[in-house]
Amino acid sequence: PIRWSYNPGKIACGESDTGPLIYAFENSCNTTFASLAMEVGHDQLAAMTAKFGFGDEDLTIPLPVTPSVYPDTDSDAEVALTGFGQFEVRVSVLQMAMVAAAVANDGVLMQPYLIQTVRDADLGVVQRTEPTVYSEPISSNTADILTEMMEAVVAEGTGT
């Protein structure tokens, strides 16, 4: 029998959760991302989140930052839930801003900072922060694909 899965609002997510990934992204098809997470597996997902800075206890701006967390689990059900950001995935606003910025920056993740320039009373430069690469978690090609998907979710899908 053919099975279709639906999101709230009766948005069809596809026959057995197959179909273009951009459609699943546009329509927040959690079942698609749960299936993909199980296919990719915990270890590869954890490695990718680490490339984006998850779990980095040394990340500062220069104030300490609560690290985002990708959970350690060997349960298939829990891995599936992490595929769409559930179970014990904990992410800060700063972390997601860094992820979005890396996508916009052709896959290059930059070290965040709060103050670009410190000046003295005469406006002389005391200290200047130079942009620093944190990591390169994805290729520019992957960043282009994600950009298209992020634009589509706002233009055509469930995003606002």
**Alpha carbon of residue 80 to chain centroid:** 16
The answer as to whether 12 is a domain residue is yes
At 136 the pLDDT is 97
Pairwise pLDDT comparison (71 vs 104), residue with the higher score: 104
Which residue bears the tokens 């993909």?
36
Q: What is the pLDDT of residue 138?
A: 97
State pTM to two decimals: 0.79
3-state helix, strand, coil in the chain (%, to 5): 40, 15, 45
Q: Quick check: is 16 in a domain?
A: yes
Range of the domain at 129: 4-155
User: Does any domain span residue 160?
Assistant: no
Write down the pLDDT at residue 3: 54
Q: Report how many domains make up the chain.
A: 1
